[in-house]
Amino acid sequence: MTWTGTPAIAERVDLLARRYRGAAREVLEPLVLAHHPALGRESPAEYRKMLELTAKMMLVGHACTEVGDFEFDAARQRTAALFGGCCFLADSFLDDFGPASMAEYLDRFTALLETGWFEIRSDRERLFYVIVARLFAARDVLTPLLRQAILQLHLAQAEDVRMRLDGAALTTLTEGRRRALLRQCARDRSGHAILVLANFLVPRLTLDQVAGLFCAGALVMFIDDHGDCHADRQDGRLTYMNQIRDPERALRRIFAKHLSQLLAILPSGPGRDLLLGFLTRYYRTRLAKHRQQARMGGSAWDVHE
């Protein structure tokens, strides 16, 4: 099965992307100013990246909500924005402050899940805790599918960190085994992330909807890793997309395969169209990002729509 989209779908994706940039700022800026003002004042590029990621999560959340046949109302928009801010800060603990920070984040988030609290040591941690607390207050986190999605995402992050901290062990594996592990890790990190988002927004999902959204989330990570391929290599980080000989050709195959699966799994409707329209737009912009990083030498802080 193939999907080419329509100008109306592309226009809707563009319209919502612009709308949610402003909505992301409305939700997150008061929290940043109150709890971590240096983020916006001293790190404007990082703050802009936070808003871009949050707008993307709101757009994906809108699609997930419509796939579940619910309205993406104001309360759900706020929840999706909080989730975006939470993801951005979690990624920063994992990616931006070295190996010790990665390991500490996993330990401290485990403590948060087990006890509901950890000792706050910095404004960044305070902002993260405030956002997580508001996010958890918006939904019963003991709902089985949401609880399971949070746990599976945490385990996928732990596996990613384990492989990054023990990169020497990866190099001892055969090329095929190393690629298989990296591919599975990429799939699980983003696949479970979108299920966490969807379960925060939708009170119930069918198994087909869960399978389709997991497939969409996995595709997002492959697209992301291709866009960041050169920056990841500079940082010495191994990903599936920077360990294959022709990543752009491989991504074309991955993109076509995942879209075909989504068409087969998810019922037709505005939610599926919005999700596929977003994925198509994201795929094209990340191809451009990859090429730009190749020319510029790669930068982890490049900001692209």
Report which of 291, 288, 280, 286 is spatially closest to residue 258, judged by C-alpha positions. 280
Judged by DSSP in three states, 41 sits in helix
Residues written for the chain? 305
The burial class, CB within 10 Å (0-12 / 13-18 / 19+), for 185 is buried
Question: pLDDT tens-digit profile of 254-290?
Answer: 999 999 999 999 999 999 999 999 999 999 988 877 6
Long-range Cβ contact pairs of 76-79 (< 8 A, separation 24 or more): 76/201, 77/20, 77/23, 77/27, 78/27, 78/138, 79/135, 79/138, 79/139, 79/200, 79/201
pLDDT of residue 71: 97
pLDDT of residue 301: 44
**Residue ranges per structural domain of the chain:** 7-296
d(CA 25, CA 229): 28
Q: Which residues contact 265 (CB under 8 A, 6 or more apart)?
A: 208, 211, 212, 215
Question: pLDDT tens-digit profile of 6-52?
Answer: 899 999 999 999 999 999 999 999 999 999 999 988 889 999 999 99
pLDDT of residue 42: 87
Tokens of 27: 């939700």
pLDDT of residue 294: 66
Containing 181, the helix (H) or strand (E) segment is helix 175-201
pTM: 0.91
Report which of 273, 257, 269 is spatially closest to residue 218, judged by C-alpha positions. 257
Phi-psi region of 140 (alpha: psi -120 to 50; beta: other; left: phi over 0): beta
List the CATH code of the domain at 7-296. Answer: 1.10.600.10
pLDDT of residue 141: 83
Q: What mean pLDDT is reported for the chain?
A: 89
pLDDT of residue 33: 96
d(CA 32, CA 88): 13
pLDDT of residue 296: 66
d(CA 187, CA 257): 14
Number of helices and strands in the chain (H, E): 13, 0
Q: With a cut of 50, which residues of the chain have pLDDT below it? A: 300-305
Q: Which residues contact 230 (CB under 8 A, 6 or more apart)?
A: 242, 290, 293, 294, 297, 298
Rounded to 10 degrees, what is the CA torsion of 7, 13, 14, 17?
A: 180
Tokens of 140: 């019963």
Other beta carbons less than 10 A from residue 46's beta carbon: 15
